[in-house]
Chains A and B, each alone.
Chain A
Amino acid sequence: MTTRIDRRMAKLKTEGRPALVTYFMGGDPDYETSLSIMKALPGAGADVIELGMPFSDPMADGPAIQAAGLRALKGGQTLVKTLKMASEFRAGDNETPIVLMGYYNPIYIYGVDRFLKDAIASGIDGLIVVDLPPEMDEELCIPALKAGINFIRLATPTTDDKRLPKVLQNTSGFVYYVSMTGITGSALADTGKVAAAVQRIKGHTDLPVCVGFGVKTAEQARVIGANADGVVVGTAIVNAVANVLGPKGEKTADPAEAVATLVSGLAQGVRSARLAAAE
């Protein structure tokens, strides 16, 4: 069974360019604004959308995404609303893949079976759940795969060759390579090392390998995209939203427009990645 992610990745491969994977926080700063951001992403050049599910205790995230999650929760976002947002988006766009990204507890409390059923109904294509390593595959990964949803696993610099097969075993859609040991929003790692790591992972799998953590500018997207099948940008997008919010959370400019401007630049970066690499 192919998903929207599989189809999108295959299409980009024939186009000879990496995917731009964009993360934003669902419900930040409020439901309607966040939905308008989501709707603006494909037009600005996003190929895959990661829809962040806010969590009170995001242990793998840096201050920017942590703050975005808290803004969303304060704005009344819940998992129910995040799924509703996906479904509203899906009504107007049946092509762009949506990956839900977050932590396990809200899903666990929602109920895994009910969640998978509702996620499919909302047009969700994949899941990234940070705190579910392969050792916990029975929890959600295997039920998700059975339900036809991609389970995208993070591989990290600490995932050595011995462990990689275990990490890749039940991974589908794409592999998300975390460019560094650290939290989201840290400085970008040595790009040479990242390229070598992407090659190492490709030696173990035919799945596309997307690279995230630390990519903030079009230039970085271009450099990383020269070797990876996709470039993930999150913190920079979340910051673009934060930057147009005043001290009391009031909007000083249109967040969707701010995000679209940033994403357009990043999209140019990934579109020039292979051209530059071929030069």
Chain B
Amino acid sequence: MDKPATPNSFRTGPDEQGMFGIFGGRFVAETLMPLILDLERHWNEVKNDPDFKAELTDLSTHYAGRPSKLYFAEGLTRHLGGAKVYFKREDLNHTGSHKINNCLGQILLAKRMGKKRIIAETGAGQHGVASATVAARFGFPCVVYMGATDVARQSPNVFRMKLLGAEVRPVTAGHGTLKDAMNEALRDWVTNVEDTYYLIGTAAGPHPYPELVRDFQSVIGTEARAQILEQEGRLPDTIIACVGGGSNAIGLFHPFLDDKDVRIIGIEAGGRGLDGIEHCASMSAGAPGVLHGNRTYLLQNSDGQIMDGHSISAGLDYPGVGPEHSWLRDSGRVEYVPILDDEALEAFKLTTRVEGIIPALESAHAIAHAVKIVPAMDKDQIVIVNLSGRGDKDVHTVASMLGMEI
């Protein structure tokens, strides 16, 4: 495949067809097409509407707790002995991750569209919890589709969703992970077209979802950019985020894309290694294909059948990635590298010990890469890692990995 020419700006996509180069688009059944066009119309209306922005900002501030802090991770910096490491503290948001940013935006959109019911898919349960939260706050009934495997390994989040009044429907198809949950959510949507809003949790799916989720999550990078300028008087040398579907990553990356001197690294789930099929590194080891409404890098076999993948972290356990990441990969602006389960687990333990912060296993992948590269960097260099969520939900998984019972 030809490498696309370097554009003047990396921040102009998608085009009017919802494409980022060859990626993205609207590969959906006809039943959903009118709904997606309707969503696009409403999205175009609200995205520049000052009232909508004001309402979202107010909720972000007083309900979600934004802006999230940019924290100098002194303990980790000292431990690694290289560049200064900062954490963007999305773990401190209401509901414990960056997912609330997107959910608040989309619930306001659903309200404007006059929808009566919310459906969502979830992997780790962070998006499910955030969806259930905003549904409770705004009085919507909410159904969350969650792979049966994930229901088992993320039981605290399942309980939280139920407390919040959502119905959690376990999905047993496939490996019972995020991909299967997304299929089932799409089946619900295609059945309940009149009243249902599909609150997609990541910057993937048919246009306009990748764009609108990115825009709602870009608050992360916009804040981080202003905060580092204020705290350090300059831009960072490197920014790092984990990539499952890629919403926290695109949220951090997007405001920095045209800062040519900032190195941007997305971390994929390397699972048990890229040699076999037990990983979710779609951009490192997959190929472009079409799934869930968009063209993007996918884990698939030579017949175009989608593989299930594996990651220690349920939130990264997805065989695809948001289409804008695929485009950023091919254009060379962003590097995507895998981190193994074991490396993420070590970073999880290290961060807990030297910072007193229990990171989500997803975020621990990003930290693990910082652990690799920071020691070789100069002490006056700066690295920002997106701490996309807190790890309370993961203590059962980690305990079993460490052979402990809790």
| A-to-B contact residues, CB < 8 Å | 55-60, 62, 66, 73, 78-80, 103-110, 130-136, 153-160, 163, 167, 178, 181-183, 186
Contact = CB atoms under 8 A, between A and B. Distances in A.
Given A104-B290, A109-B303, 10 more contacts: A55-B304, A56-B305, A57-B292, A59-B186, A109-B300, A109-B304, A156-B29, A157-B193, A178-B31, A182-B190
21 contacts: A56-B306, A57-B291, A59-B183, A59-B292, A60-B190, A66-B173, A104-B27, A130-B29, A131-B290, A132-B27, A133-B30, A154-B29, A154-B30, A156-B29, A156-B30, A157-B31, A158-B33, A158-B34, A163-B34, A167-B30, A181-B193
A179 to B, nearest CB: 11
Contacts of A58: 183
B303 A158 contact: no
A158 B31 contact: yes
Interface residues of B, number: 37
A187 B302 CA distance: 36
B28 interface: yes
Interface string B292-321: 110100101011111000000000000000
Nearest to A62: B187
Contacts of A59: 29, 183, 186-187, 190, 292
B17 A158 contact: no
A105 B29 contact: no
Nearest to B193: A181
Contacts of A80: 303
B30 A159 contact: yes
Contact of A73 (B30, B292, B305): B305
A60 B28 CA distance: 9
A16 B33 CA distance: 34
A108 B191 contact: no
A158 B27 contact: no
B26 interface: yes
B89 interface: no
Nearest to B306: A56
A108 B34 contact: no
B369 interface: no
B279 interface: no
B305 A106 contact: yes
Contacts of A160: 34
Contacts of A132: 27
A78 B303 CA distance: 6
B303 to A, nearest CB: 4
Contacts of A134: 33
A242 B303 CA distance: 24
- Per CB-CB distance, the 4 closest pairs between chain A and chain B, nearest first, are A109-B304, A106-B304, A182-B191, A156-B31
Contacts of B292: 57, 59
Contacts of B141: none
B30 A108 contact: no
B187 A131 contact: no
B67 interface: no
